[in-house]
């Protein structure tokens, strides 16, 4: 008897790798923060006003993205080296 005959659904197929790769998400998020900062900067230049909270929030978001990317790169390098303290699952493939 198969699992479906016992009323248990079969396990779902594994996701394609493009759905769980982190670098495109990290780079995409950083690009969106950079675009938001650029637009906020241009708006402040055109209006002659000071740099507002939107600009500084965007710069902070970009900074957090850069920090996160650095941590991710360090963890991936540690996983490739086989360090015991490295996170698992950051290595592609």
pLDDT tens by residue, 32-41: 999 999 999 9
pLDDT at 60 (0 to 100): 96
> CA–CA separation, 83 vs 4, rounded Å?
41
Alpha helices in 7-86 (DSSP H): 23-47, 53-81
pLDDT (tens digit per residue) in 22-31: 788 888 999 9
Question: Which of helix, strand or coil describes residue 65?
Answer: helix
The Cβ-side half-sphere exposure at 45, using a 13 Å CA radius, reads 6
Specify the residue for token string 């998400």: 25
Closest CA to 43 of 52, 34, 33: 52
pLDDT at 33 (0 to 100): 94
């Amino acid at each position: 008897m198969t699992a479906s005959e016992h009323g248990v659904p079969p396990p779902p197929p594994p996701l394609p790798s493009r759905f769980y790769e982190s670098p495109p998400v990290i780079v995409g998020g950083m690009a969106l923060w950079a675009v938001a900062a650029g637009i906020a900067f241009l708006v402040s230049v055109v209006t002659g006003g000071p740099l507002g909270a939107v600009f500084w929030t965007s710069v902070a978001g970009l900074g957090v993205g850069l920090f996160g990317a650095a941590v991710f790169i360090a963890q991936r390098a540690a996983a490739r080296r086989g360090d015991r303290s490295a996170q698992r699952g950051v290595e592609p493939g």
